[in-house]
Amino acid sequence: MLVLNSQIIGKLVQSIHTGSSIGQLKHAIVDYNNLKVIAYDVDGPLVKQEDLDILMTNDIREYAPVGAIVDSLDSLATGNDVVAVKHIRDVQFDPLHLKVKTKKGKKLGQVVDFILDTQDFLIQQLIVRRPPMQALLDPELTISRDKIVEVTDYYIVINDDTEKPKARAEKKQEAPEFVPNYVNPFKKPELAPETESVVKD
User: Residue 21: pLDDT above 90?
Assistant: yes
Give me the helices (H) in the chain, please. Answer: 5-8, 45-49, 83-91, 132-135
Q: What average pLDDT does the segment 162-179 reach?
A: 48
pLDDT computed for residue 184 by the predictor: 61
pLDDT computed for residue 185 by the predictor: 61
Confidence of residue 152 (pLDDT cuts 50, 70, 90): confident
pLDDT computed for residue 170 by the predictor: 46
User: Residue 62: pLDDT above 60?
Assistant: yes
pLDDT computed for residue 178 by the predictor: 47
pLDDT computed for residue 50 by the predictor: 80
Sheet containing strand 67-70, strands side by side: 62-64, 67-70, 12-15, 21-31, 36-43, 54-56, 76-77
Query: What is d(CA 184, CA 168) in angstroms, rounded to the nearest whole number?
Result: 26
Of 50, 95, 97, nearest to 76 by C-alpha is 50
pLDDT computed for residue 176 by the predictor: 46
Average pLDDT along the chain: 84
User: Residue 169: pLDDT above 50?
Assistant: no
Cα angle 111, 115, 119; round to 5: 145
Confidence of residue 165 (pLDDT cuts 50, 70, 90): very low
Question: CATH 3.10.20.90: does it fit domain 2-91?
Answer: no
Query: What is d(CA 150, CA 130) in angstroms, rounded to the nearest whole number?
Result: 19
Report which of residues 43 and 133 the model is more confident about: 43
Confidence of residue 147 (pLDDT cuts 50, 70, 90): very high
For residues 82 and 39, is the Cβ–Cβ distance under 8 A? yes
Query: What is d(CA 103, CA 85) in angstroms, rounded to the nearest whole number?
Result: 30
Query: What is d(CA 118, CA 198) in angstroms, rounded to the nearest whole number?
Result: 25
- For the stretch 63-113, pLDDT in tens is 999 999 999 999 999 999 999 999 999 999 999 989 999 999 999 999 999
pLDDT computed for residue 194 by the predictor: 53
- For the stretch 122-141, pLDDT in tens is 999 999 998 876 666 778 89
